[in-house]
Structure 1
């Protein structure tokens, strides 16, 4: 299935690349930093990084903002609120909350790939209030109930 996503470059960001896949079968579209000046993230520090774009999606879609594996593995840079959700009715600038979980400061430059955006369908659901839930094998087993190995 194919969906049309409307992308708008915000004024002053004409030089920032549009989201794009870096390989033919990639699931995510890389997002690029639209910072006015380089941003230095010290270890443990977080920052809201603009991308210079806004978009419109059809109803029934959401965009999820996820970390880039290379930044996470090599530098400890990841996204807070992961995956971040962009709803179909949001029209503001897409921004990414980055945090430095690494041991060294990390510099974010304009035009640098900072995260990836993956589109997902959102099912229509209805809640039905009830006094009893059907039994299952798992039951109420929660966090760690199956052990470590």
Structure 2
């Protein structure tokens, strides 16, 4: 697998003037996504509420790739704001606008301003599974032990 892949991206009119998603460091896994709401209409995210934030971007991923929309750790740690359906999945055949579903788990309202970095997008390869029905599964040391079964 090569170090880079080509991903076509289109800015919609309401994203004019905003930067394209970008890696913020040499080894960053995610490209930061910015809010493309109107500068005249910041989005107020009350505690416990959620909102779909437009990015003004559409992409064309290569076959056998996906884009994952993930939270930004700083927003989560400082404000309790995170991606509700993390990770959100963008399939290779989707051509609509990328939206970021943010939720405020914090105690204070949070204002989302135009151009603010609100999430990160990670491009990842996809392996499709062929499911095979069986009567029994192979045994393992863990067996059916689930939540908390391997420790605290």
Partner of 1:24 in structure 2? 26
The TM-score, its normalising length taken from structure 1, stands at: 0.96
Q: What pairs with 1:93-112 in structure 2 (closer than 5 Å)?
A: 93-112=97-116
Equivalence for 2:67: 63
Counterpart position of 1:6: 8
SS for the counterpart of 1:12 is helix
Post-superposition Cα deviations, 1:117-136, rounded to whole Å, max 9, x if no partner, equal 01111113211111111111
Q: Which of 15, 18, 23 matches 2:17?
A: 15
Matches within 5 A, 1:63-142: 63-142=67-146
Q: Deviations over 1:45-90 (max 9, x none)?
A: 1000000000000111111110000111111110111111100000
Report the counterpart of residue 51 of structure 2 in structure 1: 47
TM-score by length of 2: 0.94
Q: Contact 2:14/2:36 (CA < 8 Å) preserved in 1?
A: no
1:11 Cα offset (Å): 1.7
What RMSD in Å do the two structures reach over aligned CA positions? 0.9
Number of equivalent positions? 148
| DSSP 3-state at the match of 2:14 | coil
Distance 1:69 1:13 in 2: 24
SS in 1 for 2:78: helix
Matching residue of 1:34: 36
Task: Provide structure 2 residue ranges, at least 5 long, that are not aligned to the other structure.
Answer: none
- Structure 2: how far apart are the matches of 1:12 and 1:78? 23
Extract structure 1 runs of 4+ deviating beyond 6 A: none
